[in-house]
Structure 1
Amino acid sequence: MSQDEKPPLLDRIANTAFLAVIGLARLLPYERRIPATGWLFTHLLAPVAGWRRRIRDNLALARPDLSAEELREVVLAVPENAGRSVAEIYSGDEFTTRIRKADPLEGPGLAALEAAFESQRPVIIACAHFGNYDAMRAALAGRGWPVGALYRPMNNEAFNRHYIPAITAIAEPLFPRGRAGLASMLRFLKGGGWLALGFDQYDRHGTELRFFDLPSKTVLTPAELALRYDALLVPIHAIRLPDGLSFRVHVGEPVEHGESAGMMQALNDDLEMLVRRHMGQWFWVHRRWK
């Protein structure tokens, strides 16, 4: 759809409602805006959108051992984290300045990242819908590192017209899914760029691996690109801290090159350990198991 074409009416209505919420939130100072939007997602959006039921269904599969109180905590924490993340994305310079000033990068793989930058070696950043993915991009870009990302445009074109500029302002380049985006992405990677790729959603064309000891179709692309371009493959996740506003951006151990399915299983295992420690920060709304 071109910029001159009008999106469908329902898309425009939904987009107008979203912009109204974000506009009201922007009237608040940052320290109140972020939790306020988290509250709105938890108590207004999640029940209407069916998120609570889907979170419970996924937890019944993956964590049937949770008590009723633990289950309730996760059901509330997941949409709150999502709401906070959206508010942060739409906070522009306030968000990125806070991240870059804090320089929250840490973890056993940080030295390998620094070495890759010095040698201009490509890097595949294996990331997930955990904490705030964009805090990770802001932290890496704050070091002056060449972090790009592949993204899927939203189905709502009216939403895309402000969402894509918002995420582009955090760090760029960004590459849309599709033939043109893929070609640009590969040129960037060949030139020593760093590419953030998600791997935590169900992919019907993926390979059946294990996640929370359940069969789950997993994309092999991050491992395959790392092997093809001799790129470092490293998991990086932004963990939201107890204050709800700050992050620790954890750089995990680089994944040893080998067979692609085994590399991706190592990433699944690493993410599972992280999610078990921070159950409310992974987006349990996704249909990860089918």
Structure 2
Amino acid sequence: MSEKDDDTISLGDRLANGTFLAIMGLARILPYERRVPAMGWFFARFLGPVAGWRKRIRENLAKARPDLDDREIARLTRAVPDNAGRSLAEIYSGQEFIGRIHGADPLSGPGLPALEQAAAAGRPVILAVAHFGNYDAMRAALTGRGWPVGALYRPMNNEAFNRHYIPAMQAIAEPMFPRGRSGLAAMLRFLKGGGWLSLGYDQFDDNGAVLRFFGLPTKTVLTPAELAIRYDALILPIAGIRQPDGLSFRVEVGEPIAHSDPETMMQTLNDHLENQVRQHMEQWFWIHRRWKERGSR
């Protein structure tokens, strides 16, 4: 990834990055047990309304869960940004966060034996992940078992923010592959050699197949299933589910997805995620435009 010179970064990006660093710097003064909820509170009370997140959450809930009452919708407009703020604070807490995850060894779920077998056999693994709970709790839990997991990422538009955000994620688990030709080539070599790769699948993808999520049609990426078929990789869903204390996690490994055709496999993942979201509504990032309409951005 090439970096821009300082003088090519816009003033707006510099100000946004400076504001974030100031807020994160203040948060770091607090002990971990107070820092994480404090960032959640800040996102819920300030960033969420300013960024328009509350409006987006309401719009998505109206499509996917029109059965919810006003009280629950109001709760979710605060709880979803709260989870996002907590997750960001955890990423920037480095070893404090990683140590907690490693010490707890929170991996569980029906797919864990299959992961253990894949590790023993050196078989490639596709970890299907969503913007749910804290994605990095999963990565930390796997590295705690000695299972390095690679990830494909898209650099943020704000280059000034990237300069500290990417290293913060790399500190949790490596390797990481930037989107683009060179990153994709390195990622495929890693997977072909028996690597484990986490791939997201819960955002609208213009080139995806029209599948269903919460009973609604939406374009879903097929790449995780296609790569699993091509490289005979184990593929299964995995999620770091935040626990009621707001600080600890259960990293749930779902049942392996049987190889068939990519559309069927990805629909199975969509169905699994929907069930998980229904159980923990506040932990999915309801801010994405998951159900885009023609001509919308």
Report TM bin, short chain: over 0.9
Picking from 236, 239, 242, the partner of 1:240 is: 242
Alignment match, 2:101? 99
Alignment match, 1:22? 24
Alignment match, 1:69? 71
Q: Give CA-to-partner distance per residue, 1:130-185, whole Å, 9 cap, x none.
A: 00000000000110002111111000000000000000000000001110100000
Q: Secondary structure at the match of 1:288?
A: coil
Alignment match, 1:219? 221
Picking from 128, 131, 134, the partner of 1:129 is: 131
How many residue pairs match? The answer is 290
What's the offset of the Cα at 1:4?
3.4
Q: Secondary structure at the match of 1:230?
A: coil
Matches within 5 A, 1:158-173: 158-173=160-175
Picking from 207, 210, 224, the partner of 2:209 is: 207
Alignment match, 1:280? 282
Q: Secondary structure at the match of 2:59?
A: helix
Picking from 34, 37, 44, the partner of 1:32 is: 34
What's the offset of the Cα at 1:2?
2.9
Alignment match, 1:110? 112
Q: Secondary structure at the match of 2:29?
A: coil
CA contact (8 A) 2:133 2:240 kept: yes
What's the offset of the Cα at 1:3?
5.1
Picking from 131, 138, 143, the partner of 2:140 is: 138
Paired letter, 2:226: E
Q: Give CA-to-partner distance per residue, 1:59-109, whole Å, 9 cap, x none.
A: 000000001111111111100000000000000000000000000000000
Paired letter, 1:2: E
Q: Distance in 1 between matches of 2:39 and 2:3?
A: 31
Q: Distance in 2 between matches of 1:128 and 1:57?
A: 20
What's the offset of the Cα at 1:5?
3.7
CA contact (8 A) 2:33 2:247 kept: yes
Paired letter, 2:145: R
CA contact (8 A) 2:238 2:252 kept: yes
Alignment match, 2:295? none
Q: Distance in 2 between matches of 1:5 and 1:56?
A: 38
Alignment match, 1:152? 154
Picking from 188, 191, 195, the partner of 1:189 is: 191
Paired letter, 1:37: M
Overall identity of the aligned pairs, in %: 71
Q: Distance in 1 between matches of 2:224 and 2:3?
A: 31
Picking from 36, 42, 45, the partner of 2:44 is: 42
Superposition RMSD on alpha carbons, in Å?
0.7
Please say if 1:4 is aligned against 2:11.
Answer: no
Alignment match, 2:86? 84
Q: Give CA-to-partner distance per residue, 1:194-213, whole Å, 9 cap, x none.
A: 00000000001100000000
Alignment match, 1:258? 260
Q: Distance in 1 between matches of 2:219 and 2:198?
A: 20
Q: Distance in 1 between matches of 2:250 and 2:3?
A: 39
Q: Tell which deviates more after alignment, 71-80 or 264-273.
A: 71-80
Q: Distance in 1 between matches of 2:159 and 2:243?
A: 33
Q: Distance in 2 between matches of 1:25 and 1:241?
A: 22
Q: Distance in 2 between matches of 1:262 and 1:22?
A: 42
Q: Secondary structure at the match of 1:265?
A: helix
Q: Secondary structure at the match of 2:251?
A: strand
Q: Give CA-to-partner distance per residue, 1:218-274, whole Å, 9 cap, x none.
A: 000000000000000010000000000000000000000001000000000000000
- TM-score w.r.t. the length of structure 2 is 0.97
Q: Secondary structure at the match of 2:171?
A: helix
Q: Distance in 2 between matches of 1:45 and 1:71?
A: 18
